[in-house]
Amino acid sequence: MGVMPLWRLLLNMALPLTVSLIIQALYNIIDSLFLSDLGENVLAAVSLAATVQNFMSSAAAGIGVGINALATACLGRKDRQGASQAAVNGLFIEAVCMLFFVLAGLFLTRAYFLFQTDNAEIVAYGTAYLQICMIGSVGIFGETVFERLLQATGKTVYSMITQGIGACINIGLDAVLIFGRCGFPALGIRGAAIATVCSQCIALALAFFLNKKKNSEITISLRGFRPNRKIAAEILRVGIPSTVMGSVSSFMFFLLNRLIASFSTTALAVFGIYNRFQQFMLTPMVGLNNSIVSIVAYNVGARDKERIMGTFRWGVLYGFAVMATASFCFLLFPEVIMSPFHPTEEMFRVGVPIFRIVGFTFLFSSPSMIACSLFQGLGEGFYSLFVSVARQILIRVPFAYFLAQFGNLSLVWFCWPISEICSDLISMMFFRRIYKRKIAVLAR
């Protein structure tokens, strides 16, 4: 964290996490491929459920970012006991969040789908799928904590192993439980949910084991544990903005799902396919952003201004390369991307514009995304939160509803480039302010 050349450190930390996230995102695509055999309404139901699943993931990952930032800052100060306290208190916070989603899964899932659509088949499919995923959310919350602790000490290769194995198990269980193979009954969409929960729990067990055996810098022990308000507040100070940032995306998709459903269920199904592929294409950015947060937080603790700025510069360079590649794929090959999902002519008509318009937008996305990671690493989560809220809620959603008034669904997608350019400008303004106040005053 403090001595390796930054171009190599970023790659060493980001690549293993990126590979594991790509495997995870590939699972989501394969999951949708399996479920597309069951019909368009099943795809639409999973598309609506994905909004809540993303919210769960955002809550788990956001608190994980808070744990990661505090633990790495402690390690930068050579305070291993503080890092261990951050880990245990973070585990407690994740458990409280998990309980909230379990209760919501028991009592609120059907109401959520009824609010989104009046199609009874979509409501039934979605309720069956999402309820299992939420009640069994212990896997995703526990797995996230232990993976973030591995990342905090630079052991991202073990994080890659846990996510990769979990995703591979998920894909295998999908094939067995959805269609009924190897002596199991065909469970359809319920089988997909059970496969997800089982694989997450296996990944949790593996991540816990690797922390106990390989992560000597951080000790996890619940003996005599009592929540520490100061530590919890520090985790939440970074974690809540990060959670809200991820949740903002879920809320955006929730609002846009309602808008798109007013055009057709076909449009809703296509939007779900796009969402899966967007997550896949953006996984390198997620790996890069998580690495930037850890490196910046460590070097804030070490008061090393040059490494903080060097991390930012290399992050912008790598980020642009990633997003340009994603843009190239979405612009030139939308039909190829959609073809495995048994698309009709109507699905092609609706889907090609979104892939091309939003794909072009990726070229403008990396500066604000990298800047937000820098803000989080510096402990200024509010700035990241504001940029994310402005981009996805304050700008994108109102423009989407405005453009929808013209009755042409293709026009709606132009809300993406408008919001990305605006968020870049906001990020530049915040960066100038933070640089003067927090970075320029650091002395090595």
pLDDT digits (tens, 9 = 90+) for 305-354: 888 899 999 999 999 999 999 899 899 999 888 888 777 888 888 889 88
pTM value is: 0.73
Q: How confident is the model at residue 47 (pLDDT cuts 50, 70, 90)?
A: confident
Task: Count CB-CB contacts under 10 A for residue 258.
Answer: 15
pLDDT digits (tens, 9 = 90+) for 109-167: 999 999 888 889 999 999 999 999 999 999 989 988 888 888 777 777 787 788 778 88
Instruction: State how far Cα 208 lies from the chain centre.
Output: 21
- Cβ-based neighbours of 87, under 8 Å, separated by 6 or more: 67, 71, 145, 149, 218, 219, 220
CA–CA separation, 82 vs 64, rounded Å? 16
Please give the single-letter amino acid code of residue 255. L
Q: Give the pLDDT confidence score for residue 181 in this predicted structure.
A: 87
Angstrom CA distances, 297 to 307, 356, 404, 428, stand at 11, 37, 42, 20
- Side-chain half-sphere of 301: how many Cα atoms within 13 Å? 21
pLDDT at 444 over 70: no
CA-closest candidate to residue 150, choices 230, 59, 215: 215
The backbone torsions φ and ψ at residue 181, rounded to the nearest 5 degrees and listed phi first, read: -130, 165
Angstrom CA distances, 166 to 10, 116, 188, stand at 24, 31, 20
Percent of residues, the chain, with pLDDT higher than 90 = 31
